[in-house]
Structure 1
Amino acid sequence: MSLFSWLRPAGPSLPGELQQRLQRLPSAPELSECSLREQRWVVLDLETTGLNLNKDRVLSIGAVVIEDGAIDFSQQFERTLQCADLKLAPSVLIHGLGPSAIAAGSDPAQALLDFMEFVGDSPMLAFHAPFDQHMLGRALKDHLGYKLQHPFLDVADIAPLLCPQAHIRDAGLDDWIDWFKLEVFERHNASADALATAELALILFSRARQQQIHSPQNLQQRVNQWKRRQRAPSF
C-alpha cells in the first residue's frame, strides 16, 4: 500500500455484476468525420436538485436518440434516481419530482450504468450542455467511479451559430422553440425536454448542411471558432 493511499478517497463499492458491466462499457471515441445523418446521437436532459455544480444532485435522466436523420422513438431512456436525504427545493415546483417520486426511483449506480450502456460510444447533445456534462460526470464518478469522456455538443451554441438572424444568442430552449414555431406539448421534465432538444437539433442539422457543415467533427470545429469570435474584444 502506498504511504499516501489513505489520502485518496475510496471509490464506490459496487457488486460484482455492476463491476463487470462497467468494465464492458465501450471507450468514447472522438467526434467522427461521418455525416451528421449517419452519426448516432444521444440527446439528454437532466433534472437536478438545483443549479449548484458542486452540491446539487441528479434527480432524473431523460434521453432520446437521433439516428439516420430522425428521432428513433424505439430508443428512449428515462430514469428517476433515488436521492437520500432529499430536501424540498424550489426546483420541485418546476420538474415536479417530490420525495415520493424520488423514493420510488432507481438505485443511482444501476440507473447511471443503464444510461451509459444506452449511450454506448455515441456523442451527446444537450441544451446548455456544460451543465449536464458536469452534473452527469460528477454523478458517474460518485456512484460508479467512472470518468465521463464522451464528446458533448451544446445545442445552445449551435443554434445562434447557424441562425444569427434570430438575434437570441443567450436564449433558453423555450426561446428557440418559439422562434422555430415547434409544437411542444410538454416541458420541464427530463424526457420531454430531451425530445424538444432533439427536434431542435434536427432542424439545426439541416441548417448545418446548407452551410456546408457535414460532419460532427466539422460542426464542433465551427462552434469552437464561433465561440472564440464571441469572446474576442471588439474595437
Structure 2
Amino acid sequence: MSWFGWLRAAKPRLDATQQQRLAQLPKPTALGDGSLRSQRWVVVDLETTGLNLNRDQVLSIGAVVIEDGAVDFSQLFERTLHRAETKLSPSVLIHGLGPSAIAAGSDPVQALLEFMEFVGDSPLLAFHARFDQHMLGRALKDSLGYRLAHPFLDVAEIAPMLCPQAPIRDAGLDDWIEYFNLQVGERHHASADALATAELMLILFSRARQQHIDTPQTLQERLSQWKRRKQAPSF
C-alpha cells in the first residue's frame, strides 16, 4: 500500500445487479438541432443538508419532464435519500425533511441509480443549476463512481437572457413566479420546486421561439454568448 493510499476515496461497493444497471445507463448526448418542443428535458431540484458544496449532502431529489411542449405528469421522480449520520441544518425549517423522513429514505445507491435511469440521455434544467449540478455530481461520484456529463442549463440565467425588460435582477425563483403570475400551490420541497421551475421554463421556451431560438443547441449557444457579455469588463 502506498504512503498516499489512505488519501484516495474508497470506491463505492455495488453488487452485481447495481454494476450492470450502472453499465447500462445511456451516454448523455450533446444538445442538438431538433426543435425545442421535441427535446425531452428533465427539470431537477435538490434538497440538501446545507449549502456547503464540499461537505453537505443531497437529502432528496425531485424531477419532472418537459416533452412535446408540456409537463408530462406521467414522468415524475421523487426520492428522499437515507442518511444515517446526518446532522440537520436550519434548512430543515424550509424543506421540512426531518430525522424520521430521512431515516425512512431510500438507499442512496438505489435512489441515484433510479434517478439516472429516469434521466436517460436527456439534458437537465435547474434553477441556480451550478449548485444542483455540483451536488448531484458529487453524490453520483461518491455513491456510484459515476461522472455526471449531461448538459445542464440554468433557468436562473435563461430567464433574464430572454426577458431583459423584466425589472428584476439576480432574481430568485419566487421573483420569476410572481413576475409571470404563475399559480404555484406549493414550494420548498424538491418535487414542488422542480414543477414550479418547469412551469416557468415552458414560458421561457415560448419566449425563446419568439426570439428565433428554435433548437436546444441554439439556446445553449445564445446562453454562452450572453454569459460572456455579462462577464466582459466594461470600459
1:46-77 alpha-carbon deviations (Å, 9 max, x no partner): 00000100000000000000011100000000
Give me the CA root mean square deviation.
1.5
1:142-178 alpha-carbon deviations (Å, 9 max, x no partner): 0000000000010000000000111323000000000
**Residue aligning to 2:70:** 70
**Residue aligning to 2:24:** 24
Distance 2:5 2:24 in 1: 27
**Residue aligning to 1:9:** 9
Q: Are 2:181 and 1:185 equivalent residues in the alignment? A: no
- Aligned-pair identity in percent equals 77
SS of 2:9's equivalent in the other structure is coil
Compare 9-18 and 131-140 and name the one that shifted more.
Answer: 9-18
Distance 2:226 2:117 in 1: 33
**Residue aligning to 1:52:** 52
SS of 1:166's equivalent in the other structure is coil
1:43 deviates by 0.3
Asked if the contact 1:33–1:216 (Cα under 8 Å) also holds between the matched residues in 2, the reply is: yes
**Residue aligning to 2:167:** 167
**Residue aligning to 1:158:** 158
Deviation >2 Å, runs of 4+: 1-10
Matches within 5 A, 1:76-155: 76-155=76-155
Distance 1:13 1:152 in 2: 27
1:10 deviates by 3.0
Distance 1:158 1:53 in 2: 23
Letter in 1 for 2:203: I
Distance 1:168 1:124 in 2: 25
SS of 1:165's equivalent in the other structure is coil
Can you give the 5+ residue segments of structure 2 that lack an aligned partner in the other structure? Answer: none
Distance 2:23 2:161 in 1: 38
Distance 1:147 1:229 in 2: 30
TM-score by structure 1 length?
0.97
1:191 deviates by 0.3
Distance 2:11 2:219 in 1: 36
Letter in 1 for 2:196: A
Quickly say closer, same or farther: Cα 1:89–1:3, change in 2 above 3 A. closer
1:5 deviates by 6.6
Matches within 5 A, 1:199-210: 199-210=199-210
Quickly say closer, same or farther: Cα 1:10–1:161, change in 2 above 3 A. same
SS of 1:133's equivalent in the other structure is helix
1:3 deviates by 9.9
Letter in 2 for 1:168: I
Letter in 2 for 1:9: A
Asked if the contact 1:160–1:167 (Cα under 8 Å) also holds between the matched residues in 2, the reply is: no
1:8 deviates by 3.5
TM-score by structure 2 length?
0.97
Distance 1:3 1:171 in 2: 49
1:94 deviates by 0.1
Letter in 1 for 2:34: C
